[in-house]
Structure 1
Amino acid sequence: MGYFFKTYKSMRHFGILILLVFAFSSCNQKENFPKKDFNGNRIYYNVQDFTNNPNFLRIKSNYQTVDTSCIFQKIKALKDIQDGKLVFYTESRKEFELIKSILKKYNVETKSFVGGCLRPGRFDPFCYRNEMQEEIYRRFGDVFIDSILEVSRKTYINIHPKEAYFEDGLDLREKYLSR
């Protein structure tokens, strides 16, 4: 064994090897979170565990959620905000490219998303988006996004006057087209 440690270089390689062994051996270990709280209520840590319960549609109470996904989404959002990255999420709209080009001038990235109504348990799948939206409103004010959406809608309708644009059952061309 003394032969192996004769040079500094071989000691350094041995140290790196030991660190790698410890790192990879700990990767497969799962952290044991408690399955029940002090009152005996089941604790769910993610949506998959909750929905894998065959009775999840009938669960009304007597359970707790620790939304670890949301926690990590918030951490990522706060880090991105600290790094100067802002992302605005909007539903896919006809004027999406106009919204994107306007927000780009303010260094705000724009992404399209399809929002869902289904939220199993008390899990929130939109934590990252919500944090970003709050930061955009904090920096630019409450009417900033509404104004951009209104301007982009009007611009889109004026560029495409023959294309019907319905919102809430009304054709907005009557409102926005320059006469």
Structure 2
Amino acid sequence: MVSNIGIKVLSPLSIIILACFTMKNKRFENKSGSFYQIKSDTVSVEDSIQRAQWDEEERKYLDSACQSETEKANLDIKKNKLVYFHYFGMVEQYNGDAEMTELLKKYNIEVDSAFTSCTVPYHLQNCYAQIMRKEIDRKFGPNFIDSLREVSKLEYVKKNPNKIYRFEECDWVSRYPGDKEYNDFFKNSQDHFWRNTKYPSGFEFRKDKDLYSYMGANFILYKTGKISDIKVDISFQNKKNYQYSSYFINQLKKFVQNTKWIPATSAGIKVNSEMDLTIHFK
């Protein structure tokens, strides 16, 4: 079992390591609760020395653990053992991990899992996994993993034709008609909504440029173009404007229903998806 710094999923030892890091940070914070709120020149010499000692202890541990993982990875590579890691944590995650695992088995590549942390330097976490990835790229080519990822995502979508995909699971293309790129969605949807929606005569516009009023619609966009489950939330900085809530909510619902939305895609295939639309008030 590899003791990944990054922290290996389902590994009791790794959970203990993470807890130790957390306890160490909390212990330091408790030692000087206002440390991050006061100027550095007011920090006591004792606190500064103690913090430096903890930082040094942690660096030595990380260096030692990474070196150990690196040696283990190089030894396994000499034995023709290759391992690909699915990551969890502060990195992009994918659909199709199970499909990816099956594809890798055809190349005699084992699969494991690792956790990434934002508090540990990248070059000192998951050192075993990093060495293994470099060897896989060297042996099979730099585009090998990415190409298998595309195949696995495609297989996943085909196996889940009725799933409602989250926004981040879809391809980054606009669902709004007429847009040339995704960024157009935010501007064009706003402009088109206000073309057919007038402010009531008694509506009070914001005077503070730093305060925003808005409403948001959440709905399901099916691959057929059908819309369902429209939910609208509205928030006004000026409480007097809540008297117009029903009017604006109905206008937004009509806008959503009357728009010929372009179905989302995942791996290039049309899918059902969640949609969010935000409209800001003047």
TM-score normalised by the chain length of structure 2: 0.39
Structure 1 residues 169 and 136: alpha-carbon distance in aligned structure 2, compared to 1, 3 A threshold: closer
Matched-pair identity in %: 27
The alpha-carbon deviation at position 97 of structure 1 amounts to: 1.6
Confirm or deny: 8 A CA contact 2:150 2:267 kept in the other structure: no
The alpha-carbon deviation at position 110 of structure 1 amounts to: 1.1
The alpha-carbon deviation at position 111 of structure 1 amounts to: 1.5
Cα offsets for 1:90-113 (capped at 9, x unmatched): 136542221111101111011233
Aligned residues: 132
Point out where structure 1 has 5 or more consecutive residues left out of the alignment: 1-45
Q: Look up the match of 1:159.
A: 159
Point out where structure 2 has 5 or more consecutive residues left out of the alignment: 1-16, 30-34, 37-47, 89-93, 171-263, 272-282
Asked whether 1:78 is paired with 2:74, we answer yes
Structure 1 residues 143 and 94: alpha-carbon distance in aligned structure 2, compared to 1, 3 A threshold: same
* Structure 1 vs Structure 2 CA RMSD: 3.6
Q: What letter corresponds to residue 66 of structure 2 in structure 1? A: C
Cα offsets for 1:101-152 (capped at 9, x unmatched): 1101111011233322221x78822110110011111111111000101100
TM-score normalised by the chain length of structure 1: 0.59
Q: Secondary structure at the match of 2:128?
A: helix
For residues 153 and 167 of structure 1, what CA distance do their matches in structure 2 show?
A: 15
Cα offsets for 1:14-51 (capped at 9, x unmatched): xxxxxxxxxxxxxxxxxxxxxxxxxxxxxxxx9969x7
Q: Look up the match of 1:116.
A: 117
For residues 148 and 155 of structure 1, what CA distance do their matches in structure 2 show?
A: 11
Confirm or deny: 8 A CA contact 1:158 1:177 kept in the other structure: no
Runs of 4+ in 1 over 4 A off after TM superposition: 46-49, 51-54, 56-64
Structure 1 residues 98 and 167: alpha-carbon distance in aligned structure 2, compared to 1, 3 A threshold: farther
Q: Look up the match of 1:36.
A: none
Deviates more, 1:57-66 or 1:109-118: 57-66
For residues 99 and 122 of structure 1, what CA distance do their matches in structure 2 show?
A: 24
Confirm or deny: 8 A CA contact 2:81 2:109 kept in the other structure: yes
Q: Secondary structure at the match of 2:124?
A: coil
